[in-house]
Structure 1
Amino acid sequence: MERQNPSAFAEGVGLQPELWAPGAIKSAPHHLGHRERLRERARAGGLAALPDYELLEAFLFRSVARGDVKPLAKALLARFGGFSGVLGATIDELKTVSGVGDAVALDIKLLHEAALRQTREAIGKRPVISSWTALLAYVRTALAHETREQFRVLFLDKKNQLIADEVLGRGTVDHAPVYPREVARRALELSASALILVHNHPSGDPSPSSADVDMTRQVADAARVLRIAVHDHLVVGRDSVASFKALGLL
């Protein structure tokens, strides 16, 4: 009978050759078989039963073919403060975490884009002003974890349904350039009847500044001349959203 080559057999079952020795199974890395056990728990108890680090870990299985990704999942959550923070981080920010390369960062951003499209879909098929909860979920997904200010405009038709959501200004950590005439011009191009202005405060505090109030009035004045309504201006913070209309500022 031909003698088995221990190294060849070990490779055949997915173990490293150096583990094929008396007592080696006992000292094998703890993560061997962990992926399948985690998948089985997800199938048995449902994905909602998984804590954030295990949900992220299961997603990372697709990006990292081998090895223990639990430490990476926990490091990402610690670095960005939670699951939504991980998804909202930029590719460059994600790559500051040891173990995250181009492939992992891109996969995470694909997951973020999927979440963004899901929330956008919820406001795209009915009047935006009648789906306020869905709208707030969408703007938070889009902007709550942006590290620089971003000014967006939701362009609405006569039925207050979404025509387009466009970024019209990107700026620094505390300022994004806004040009009221550019907002009005784009609204005319899209035949919009109403607007909802949206921008974020990377500081985390959504309280409108005096500059925010002045800019909003300028945009509203420019739009009014064209008989275009400005329904609201939403300021997105880390954990909440401020509404100019609710605050009596519009």
Structure 2
Amino acid sequence: MRKMNEMPKTEQPREKALMYGITALSNMELLAIMLRTGTKEKNVLDCASELLDRSGGLSGLPRLSLGDLCTVSGISKVKAIQLQACFELVQRISAEELSADSIMEHPDKFEEWLRIRLGATMQEELLVIYLNKAKQILGMETVFRGTIDSAAVSPREIFRSALSRHARYLILVHNHPSGNLTPSSQDLNFTSRMIEAGNTMGIDVMDHLIVSQNGISSILSSRQFCSV
């Protein structure tokens, strides 16, 4: 193993950033700066490389659990939490950027954010996105974790939150860890209940999206929902 202080300054991430600017660094070098130190067996660049391999690339980093991160050389629980905090900040920055404009103006950006947020999550989550009349995001919240069951998720609570935010539209989003984008009978029943409740409240359900590593599908546009 080559020690960091034995490398030319142009190959040391912090020194390279000082000389050429942070944008000159590779993904591995940026991660190395966040990790700060390596181990006796691996320098920090090797640890950063192992982390990228474990996540399957940059987009997979936010999906790693605390336990996953701690299996990487040189990453303690403290470092793992620091990394998760950085990943969460990136997602929140992206969410704020989405909130600035109508999601209809940037559908690709919106879908990419959803894939990062939910695509590889190993437990089902139901995310509700609240929008105003201009279809700008007012806020979002995870209202349920676990298999979606119409008996377990209360439309009343969701619409109560929507009213408190003065929302005009809702987008429902949940993930399928299996990768299957076909809506289940529970998905279809829950979507129908939400649309019916929204009609009485004057709040439209714009869509119910299923997200997985394989992509995104719309329940409202699906053949299964149209035949319900």
The TM-score range, normalised by the shorter chain, is 0.7 to 0.9
Q: Give the match for residue 137 of structure 1.
A: 112
> Compared with structure 1, are the counterparts of its residues 57 and 225 closer, same or farther at alpha carbon in structure 2 (3 Å cutoff)?
same
Structure 2 CA distance, aligned partners of 1:164 and 1:209? Answer: 27
Q: What is the Cα deviation at residue 97 of structure 1?
A: 3.1
1:222 maps to a residue whose letter is A
C-alpha displacement at 1:115, in angstroms? 1.7
Verify the 8 A CA contact 1:54 1:73 in the aligned structure 2.
yes
Q: How far has the Cα of 1:245 moved from its partner?
A: 4.0
Alignment-derived partner of residue 219 in structure 2:
244
**Residue 204 (structure 1) aligned to one of 143, 165, 179:** 179
Kindly indicate whether residue 189 of structure 2 is the aligned counterpart of residue 214 of structure 1: yes
Indicate conservation of the 8 Å contact 2:124/2:145, yes or no.
yes
SS, match of residue 5 in structure 2: coil
Q: Deviations over 1:92-122 (max 9, x none)?
A: 3322334321221122112212221221122
Is the Cα–Cα contact under 8 Å of residues 154 and 166 in structure 1 kept in the other structure? yes
Greater RCO (CA < 8 Å, at least 6 residues apart): 2
Distance in 2, Cα, partners of 1:216 & 1:33? 60
CA drift at 1:133: 1.7
1:235 pairs, out of 204, 210, 217, with 210
Q: CA deviation at 1:164?
A: 1.1
Q: Residue 138 of structure 2 aligns to a residue in which SS?
A: strand
Q: Provide the residue aligned with 2:169 in structure 1.
A: 194
1:158 to 2:133 alignment: yes
Contact 1:220 1:230 in 2 (8 A): yes
* Number of equivalenced pairs: 218
**Amino acid in the other structure paired with 2:210:** V
RMSD of Structure 2 on Structure 1 (CA): 2.8
What runs of 5+ residues in structure 2 fail to find an aligned partner? Answer: none
Give the fraction of aligned pairs with identical amino acids, expressed as a percent: 31
Distance 1:218 1:47, change over 3 A: same
Contact residue 104 and residue 135 of structure 2 kept, 8 A: yes
Gap change, CA 1:233 and 1:75, over 3 Å in 2: same
- Relative to the length of structure 2, the TM-score reads 0.81
Change (3 A) 1:132 1:87: same
The structure with the largest alpha-carbon Rg is 1
Contact between 1:205 and 1:238, CA under 8 Å: does it hold in 2?
A: no
Q: More displaced, 37-46 or 192-201?
A: 37-46
2:72 maps to 1:97: yes
- Give the C-alpha shift of residue 246 in structure 1: 4.3
TM-score of the two chains, using structure 1 as the length reference = 0.74
1:124 corresponds to which letter in structure 2?
Answer: S
- Contact 1:148/1:170 (8 A) holds in 2: yes
Displacement of 1:30: 4.4
